[in-house]
Chains A and B, each alone.
Chain A
Amino acid sequence: MNARRRVDSRMWWLLVRTILAWIGYLFLLLPSLVIIPISFGGGKELTFPPTSFSLDLFRQFFNDPGWWGTAVQSTIVAVLTTLIALLVGLPATYAFARAKFRGSKLLELLAMSPMLVPVIVLGLGMYIHLAALQMVNTTFGVVMAHSVIVIPFMIVSVTSGLRHIDPSLETVALLMGASRFRIYMEVVLPQIRTSVIVGALFAFLISFDEIVVAYFITGPESTTLPVKMYSAIRWEISPVLAAVSTLLTILSLVVCLAIMALQPQESQST
């Protein structure tokens, strides 16, 4: 009798837990599950479920320079941001990992803090800063702001790679007369390749999708795709938005799968 009741309550508990978890999964996927079918529906009205299949909305996107032009601008910004994040992040993480000096903890915290500061505050600050320099509405301004935003992700990713490699190889290379630069390029970098790629993917996607700061500091000549999308959602709700959303979701999916595929290899190697 007692045992029966226990089995019952266990079944109930399992049921409640599982249902709640699946509500969670469904809720997480809901936006993508709705937006992707709609984008293939075509037509003037967005309906779910779509009644017909067409690539009309995608055609509209690629025929309108106002849309694909901003996608090109976003790509340029994201590529430049990734390059700067690599150029700044790689040397810095190496210094953090291989040197003990006063204030290194503080400096690391400083380098991580762009992740913790509310983006809106950074956006306002960049706006006032660039306004004083008369550089609002420039690609340079957006790239610099995005570099600051992505640097913590680059540092986290590369640092975890450096933690897994053996410094004595570098010592050996040094004893054999290799220069510091050569050691980094030929001994260190090949070993941390995957973490560097993961860091670069993080940087690219975060910059490509960033909206708040970009909204503050871009103008007609430097509008990125998210900024264009934001004003389109606010003012017109054009059906093209569904196609843009699907394209962005595919980009996220590719990057997400790439990162997940790269990361396990790394943990195996430890």
Chain B
Amino acid sequence: MMHTLNTRTVVVLLTPLLVLLLAFFLWPLGLVGWTSIYDNGLTFSGYERVASSTLIHRVMGNTLEVSVLATITSLVLGYAIAMHLARMSPRRRGPYLVMVMLPFWTSILVKSFAFTIVLGNAGVVNQFLDWLSGGAWHVEMMFNRVGVIVGMTNYLLPFMVLPILASLQNQNRNLHFAAEIMGAGPVRIFTKITLPLSLPGVFAGCLMCLTLSLGMYITPALLGGRQDMMLANLIDFYTRQTLDWTLASAIAIVLLVFSGLLILMMLRAQNNQEAVR
């Protein structure tokens, strides 16, 4: 016998959640939508400026470029880590998983601050290069794209490792043994078996990382330069510096639509996968 609750109990149990979400989630989001089209009267000036401003277009291009690059570097490193973890016994995996999970839980401010020390002009990396080359090598890594991508990759990696690890663990090891017995080399086994079978995890990880990077605010603000502004920084700029809430809201709605589309893709991919099973 299934234990079910009657309607009245369900209503009582769900009311607090509904009130919270209505008052402090849906209402604020609705306000952003409303502000984007209303400024002492109905106006589309916000969206018109989004469509015509070269600054906003450039920032959109930046956002897309940085997001894609950070996702790719996360994919390469994340895949290697996931493969490494997948081959361990669950017992041994524990401490390695802590190495992946601790950064996941570390404040993004701590990480960004640490990277200002690691990447700065007199930072750890440049000191090392200095020592290695006797003062000849020097790389600018702060307040430019390198800094943003390094910082973002560090933030995104756990989100990439976990879904890939899950799909690697689901693979049937016998396929690998069979391929090996038939004479396939390790690279061939990887490209023909491991990689194709892990694509759902790769796909999920990439979409997750793209969604997260589109709305990234702290890392570009602290590690990037003026030319590395991303959409979130632009929203902040128009809200606080120029007090142009209409334009800020219009950009926010555009960002919301972009990430909404990515999330829809993610949900559909998951549904397809479940349908296949």
**Residues on A close to B: CB < 8 A?**
6, 9-10, 13-14, 17-18, 20-21, 23-25, 27-32, 34-35, 38, 46, 48, 84, 87-89, 91-92, 94-95, 98-101, 107, 110-111, 113-114, 116-122, 124-129, 132, 144-145, 147-148, 151, 167-168, 170-171, 174, 180, 205, 209, 211-212, 216, 226, 229-230, 233-234, 237, 241-242, 245, 248-249, 252-253, 255-257, 260
Q: Are A167 and B3 in contact (CB under 8 A)?
A: yes
A144 to B20, CA, bound (A): 8
> Which residue on chain B has the smallest CB distance to residue A230?
B109
Chain A, Cβ-Cβ closest to B211: A116
B-chain residues with CB within 8 Å of residue A241 when the two chains form the complex: 113
Would A117 and B29 count as touching, CB distance under 8 A?
yes
Given A28-B157, A31-B114, A256-B101, A120-B185 contact (CB < 8 Å): no
A207 to B64, CA, bound (A): 28
Partner-binding segment picked from B40-48, B79-87, B168-176: B79-87
Q: Which residues of B contact A101 (CB under 8 A)?
A: 7, 10
Instruction: Tell me if A116 and B99 are in contact (CB < 8 A).
Output: no
Complex Cα distance, B27 from A126, in Å, reads 9
Q: Is B252 an interface residue (CB 8 A)?
A: yes
Chain B, 139-164, contact with A by CB distance < 8 Å: what is the 0/1 string? 00000000000000110011000000
Contact indicator B3/A171 (Cβ below 8 Å): yes
Among B1, B94, B108, the most chain A Cβ lie within 10 Å of the Cβ of B108
Q: Does A118 lie within 8 Å of B259, measured CB to CB? A: yes
Contact with A along B93-128 (1 / 0, CB 8 A): 010111111111111111111111110000010010
Chain A residues touching B, majority SS: helix
Q: How far is the CA of A166 from the CA of B97 in the complex (A)?
A: 31
Bound-state Cα–Cα, A89 to B158, Å? 26
Contact B252 A121 (CB under 8 A): yes
| A117:B186 contact, CB within 8 angstroms | no
Other A-B pairs, 8, CB within 8 Å; known A91-B13, A125-B30: A116-B263, A117-B256, A122-B28, A122-B29, A124-B252, A125-B32, A144-B24, A234-B222
B249 on interface, CB distance cutoff 8 Å: yes
Rounded to whole angstroms, the CA-CA distance of A206 and B275 in the bound complex is: 34
**Contact of B232 with A by CB under 8 A:** yes
Closest to B190 in A: A13
Residues of B within 8 A of A13 (CB): 185-187, 190
Q: Which residues of B contact A111 (CB under 8 A)?
A: 17, 21
CA distance A144 to B31 in the complex (A): 16
* CB-contact partner of B118 in A31, A205, A216, under 8 A: A31
**Cβ contact within 8 Å between B215 and A128:** no
B109 touches which of A121, A125, A144, A233 (Cβ 8 Å): A233
Contacting residues, chain A, for B9 (C-beta < 8 A) = 95, 99, 180
B105 touches A256 (CB 8 A): yes
Using known A-B contacts A91-B16, A252-B105, determine if residue A124 contacts B110 with beta carbons closer than 8 Å.
Answer: no
CB < 8 Å: which of A48, A122, A226, A257 contacts B117?
A48
Whether the pair B81, A24 counts as a contact (CB closer than 8 A) is: yes
Q: In chain B, what residue has the closest Cβ to A208?
A: B107
Contacts of A30 in B (CB 8 A): 114, 118, 154
Are A120 and B4 within 8 A (Cβ)? no
Cβ A118 vs Cβ B255 within 8 A? yes
* Residue in A closest to B151 when the chains form the complex, CB atoms: A31
| Contacting residues, chain B, for A114 (C-beta < 8 A) | 21, 25
Question: Which residue of the partner chain, among A9, A148, A253, contacts B20 with CB atoms under 8 Å?
Answer: A148
What separation, in Å, do the CA atoms of A147 and B12 have in the docked complex? 19
Whether, in the assembled complex, B77 has its beta carbon less than 8 Å from a beta carbon of chain A, the answer is yes
* Nearest neighbor of A245 in chain B, beta-carbon distance: B110
Contact yes or no, A120 B215, CB < 8 A = yes
Bound CA–CA A231/B106 (angstroms): 18
Whether the Cβ atoms of B107 and A31 lie closer than 8 Å is no
CB distance A209 to B107 under 8 Å?
yes
What would be 16 A-B contacts, judged by CB atoms less than 8 Å apart? A6-B185, A13-B186, A30-B118, A35-B113, A48-B124, A92-B17, A95-B5, A99-B10, A101-B10, A116-B211, A125-B28, A128-B35, A171-B1, A234-B221, A242-B113, A249-B106
